[in-house]
Amino acid sequence: MITIKSDAEIAKMRESGKLTRDVLDLIGREIRVGMSTKDLDKIAYDFIKSCGAEPSFLGYAGYPASICASIDDTVVHGIPSDDIIVKEGQIVSIDVGVIYNGWQGDAARTFIIGKVSEEKEKLVKVTKECFFKGIENLKDGTPLGDVGYAIQTHAENNGFSVVRALVGHGIGREMHEDPSVPNYGKKGTGIRLKKGMVIAVEPMINAGTYQVEFLRDGWTCKTKDRRPSAHYENTVAITDEGVEILTL
């Protein structure tokens, strides 16, 4: 069931969204060669708790950490570990969720570590562009398929592919609510978005094939061809003026 949020409820989500943004900004300042992804997880956990909030991901369906830290060919859901060390030339996607006063925020960024290949640099740039293309004309009455169509078109025009096995989602008091928000689609199709809906738009873009596979841990999702992948996500609200990005 799709829930429509009041202006007062969106104001509360704006608070959780800002904290989510702040976590990612902090990680962006702190991440460096030689750190473990578990180090990054602790930074996020300590900051979230210091703000009187809770990490959405910790314990969600048994997930053991506060962030997802996905390096190079890991698309999403990389589990932080003392044994996974950040290295020069990698791209590291950090996905984080925050619960504040009962409301959720969810966002992701892909960070470039030192000097990377031209392919990786372009992939990170285009993935971020895909998000903004997806929400460019978002407003009350927009068909949901228009979002995915814009993302897919921009990715494929740049020689990349769009993950199909995982999608964005509605968000509110729960991290995952209706509707599902694919990063691919056809213009003019799907439900019509309405004022008061809040969704997480999250392009997951691969350098090679769109096909992915999940590891035995049940979480880690990698590209099938082991080429790099990037992730960029924000929580957005449909408003009278069009769209407001709550996590930026």
Please give the pLDDT value at position 62.
96
Q: For residue 222, what are its two tokens?
A: 């990698």
Instruction: Please tell us whether the domain made up of 7-245 is placed in CATH 3.30.1490.110.
Output: no
Q: By the 8 A CB rule, do 67 and 57 touch?
A: yes
The gap between the terminal CA atoms of the chain, to the nearest Å, is 27
Q: How many Cβ atoms are within 10 Å of 239's Cβ, its own excluded?
A: 16
Burial of 148 (0-12, 13-18, 19+ CB in 10 A): buried
Please give the pLDDT value at position 241.
86
Please give the pLDDT value at position 210.
98
Please give the pLDDT value at position 6.
97
Please give the pLDDT value at position 240.
87
How far is CA 88 from its chain centroid?
Answer: 23
Please give the pLDDT value at position 48.
98
Amino acid at 187: K
pLDDT in tens, the chain (248 residues): 899 999 999 999 999 999 999 999 999 999 999 999 999 999 999 999 999 999 999 999 999 999 999 999 999 999 999 999 999 999 999 999 999 999 999 999 999 999 999 999 999 999 999 999 999 989 999 999 999 999 999 999 999 999 999 999 999 999 999 999 999 999 999 999 999 999 999 999 999 999 999 999 999 999 999 999 999 999 999 998 899 999 99
pTM of the model: 0.95
